[in-house]
């Protein structure tokens, strides 16, 4: 049985640090984007998906 999820990093759009990891469906064609807290910027910022 194949794995239907893959691991991705969430990268801060301001400081470019990779702060979070999460799972995403392997066949999803969209880029994951969430508003998360960045401990380096010390505020809530949009984080975008980057590959491992």
Claim: this prediction has a pTM higher than 0.85: no
Q: In this structure, what CATH number is given to the domain that contains residue 10?
A: 2.20.28.120
Q: Along the 52 residues of the chain, how does pLDDT read in single tens digits?
A: 567 889 999 999 999 999 999 999 988 899 999 999 999 999 999 999 998 8
User: Can you give the residue range of the structural domain that contains 42?
Assistant: 5-50
Counting other chains too, the contacts that 32-38 makes at CB distance below 8 Å and 24 or more residues apart are 32/8, 34/10, 36/10, 38/12, 38/14
- pLDDT (0 to 100) of residue 1: 52
Strand segments, DSSP code E, in 1-52 are 5-12, 18-25, 33-38, 43-50
Tokens of 12: 């801060």
Number of domains in the chain: 1
């Amino acid at each position: 049985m194949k794995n239907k999820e893959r691991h991705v990093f969430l990268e801060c759009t301001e400081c470019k640090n990779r702060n979070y990891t999460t799972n995403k469906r392997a066949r999803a064609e969209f880029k994951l984007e969430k508003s998360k807290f960045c401990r380096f910027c010390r505020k809530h910022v949009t984080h975008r998906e980057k590959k491992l």
